[in-house]
Amino acid sequence: MTTDLSAPPSGGSTTTAGRGKRPRPPFGVSAVSIVAVLIALFSLVPLGYVAYMTVATGWDTAVELIFRPRVMELLLNTLLLTIITVPLCLLLGVAGAWLVERTSLRGHRIWAVLLAAPLAIPAFVNSYAWVSAVPSMGGLWSGVLIATLSYFPLVYIPAAASLGRLDPAIEQSAAALGLGNWATFFRVVLPQLRIAMTGGALLVSLHLLAEYGAFAMIRFDTFTTAIMVQYQSTFNGAAGNMLASVLVFFCLLLLVAEVRSRGTARYARIGPGAQGRALRLPLHVYQLPSQLFLLALTALALGLPLFFVLRWTALGGAPAWAADEFLPALLATLGYGLAGAAATIVVAFPMAYLAVRHPGWFSKSLELSNYITSSLPGIVVGLAFVTVSIRLVPGVYQTAGVLVAAYVLLFLPRALVSLRAGLAQAPKELDEAAQSLGKPPLASFIRVTLRLTAPAAAGGAALVFLAIANELTATLLLSPNGTRTLATEFWSKSSEIDYAGAAPYALLMILLSAPMTYLLFQQSKKVAGQ
């Protein structure tokens, strides 16, 4: 039985909370709003930097720098990469999710985990493995191969979760109307995956625009690799800034396209009664081809990278594991990861609090500002902090604080989503009940809301930590002199063709990422009610 804590007890006096009077928040709403506005303004620094540099360059110079053959070449490369890779990721992700969740696939529980596992391998590590296997790799199709194998789990995980919570009654109704299995899939099931597919496509596209290491290693030029080359040669010159402005334009265009593609259809189940368990379609003669398809996919996306990382690690021998080599990088990664995760959770809390406790256009606008910034590539955020710190606060350039601030802006939504879920599970009625029993607002907040939110905060912090551990471009631009992280040391050694020396760093990054990838997969299953 569910108890309504906001209702007055029958036969008794009406409490303060029971009369509908709002409980006093632990901090004034106006104070929280002010802090949230300041955070939102701070998060728009990279976007403001791009706009300012575009204006400062001048219209004539900007047009000359943007509409030149080199930019057209980069534009063509980026468009072709996106146009080819995104549909392939959608095809592999949806097909894998359907086989695992809706067919009589043998070992479907094992395949469910294996298809999510490639997400634990950073794309630049994947590229390193493929270059080890085929040293001549390069160009568009190599980029498509590596990107597809690295990012299809971004579609598979939400698609599998959506299929898991899809009410089988609609498929049964379609079958009763005479539709066959394939017609039911394309006309009934696939439209229900619209949000998962568009969201996954957006994530894949943004990763393609932001990725540097994977494409630089195979000598495939995109906007991000070109911006890094411009930065290294001219230190934030006008040409690099204009490339960044084009890249930002495409990121914002993708955000708008994803929002519009969601549509207005409802996907929630309406009506009484419990949802039935979906019947798995028999594969019959397709059992073996399905097994071979999934085996080939996981072998290419997971087996090959792991094999070459372990092979190079073995070839490097004990000297590659010398403490003075990898221990400083591991400690720096752990230190920045913990500091960035803690700072991100603290910064995200005011936004999440307003979004859950005081929803409306104001809180949604503040949230949107953070999502816009997080969609920008790390190299743009890094360039923004380089320029702002040098011009306005020279003393903080290449300090740990600036690097942590960049991490906060890049990964704030990861913490925000988790905190929102945690606060939603700690309803304000519990605060009301605690205050009606005489607890001060701050004490009731700490003993009730904060304790209930702690697991979600820890999950969000873990997501941010793993993202920081694998971040490359912003770290290369902003880290203090002498700083070595797992990602930067891997990149330094692999750039020098010291593959045996780079292998331990790649292995450590995978070992750090694997538990979080599994946790993310399990969390998607919980959301799906499985």
Query: What is the residue-wise DSSP string for 439-495?
Result: --HHHHIIIIIIHHHHHHHHHHHHHHHHHHHT--HHHHHHSPTT---HHHHHHHHHH
- Give the Cα separation of 355 and 370 in Å (integer): 13
Mean pLDDT of the region 399-411: 91
Side-chain-side CA neighbours of residue 117 (13 Å):
19
DSSP string, 200-225: HHHHHHHHHHH--HHHHHTT---HHH
Q: Which residues pair with 281 in a beta bridge?
A: 103
pLDDT for the residue 430: 60
* Least trusted range by pLDDT, from 243-247, 443-447, 478-482: 443-447
pLDDT band at 13 (very low <50, low <70, confident <90, very high): very low
CA–CA separation, 483 and 244 (whole Å): 26
What does the mean pLDDT of the chain come to?
Answer: 81
| Domain 46-264+283-295 classification at class level | mainly alpha
Tokens representing 377 are: 């590539």
pLDDT band at 192 (very low <50, low <70, confident <90, very high): confident
pLDDT at 38 over 60: yes
Residue 310 has pLDDT above 90, yes or no: yes
Q: Of all residues in the chain, what percent carry a pLDDT higher than 70?
A: 80
- Does residue 223 register a pLDDT over 70? yes
Q: What is the mean pLDDT of residues 269-280?
A: 54
Which of 216-220, 230-234, 336-340, 358-362 has the weakest average pLDDT? Answer: 230-234
Q: Please name which of 153, 125, 232 lies closest in space to residue 487, comparing C-alpha atoms.
A: 125
352 and 36 Cβ atoms separated by less than 8 Å:
no
* CATH 1.10.3720.10-classified regions of the chain: 46-264+283-295, 317-530
Residue 103's DSSP bridge partners are 281
The letter for the amino acid at 272 is: P
Would you put residue 166 in left (φ > 0), alpha (ψ -120 to 50) or beta? Answer: beta
Predicted pLDDT of residue 417: 73
Contact (Cβ atoms closer than 8 angstroms) between residue 431 and residue 444: yes
Going by the DSSP 8-state scheme, the letter that residue 320 receives in this structure is G
Supply the pLDDT for residue 178.
Answer: 64
Task: Write out pLDDT tens, residues 15-37.
Answer: 444 444 455 555 555 777 888 88
Show the 3-state SS of 66-121.
HCCHHHHHHHHHHHHHHHHHHHHHHHHHHHHHHHHHHECCCCHHHHHHHHHHHHHC
For 104, residues 6+ apart whose C-beta sits below 8 A from its C-beta are 280, 281, 282, 283, 287
**Lowest-confidence region among 18-32, 186-200, 495-509:** 18-32
DSSP 281: B
Q: Which residues contact 25 (CB under 8 A, 6 or more apart)?
A: 32, 357, 441, 445
CA–CA separation, 105 vs 88, rounded Å? Answer: 22
Q: What token pair was written down for 203?
A: 């994530």
Q: Which CATH number applies to 317-530?
A: 1.10.3720.10
User: Which residues does 155 contact at the CB level (< 8 Å), separation at least 6?
Assistant: 89, 90, 92, 93, 94, 97, 196, 197, 200, 201, 203, 204
Report yes or no: 17 and 436 within 8 Å, Cβ to Cβ.
yes
Helix axes 304-316, 123-133, angle to 10 degrees: 70
Nearest to 486 by CA among 332, 306, 309: 332
Note whether 143 and 218 are within 8 A (CB).
Answer: yes
Instruction: Identify which of 494, 507, 484 has the alpha carbon closest to the alpha carbon of residue 333.
Output: 484
Contact 429, 22 (CB under 8 A): no
pLDDT of residue 503: 92
CB 333 within 8 A of CB 11: no
Residue from 66, 524, 76, 132 nearest 309 by CA: 132
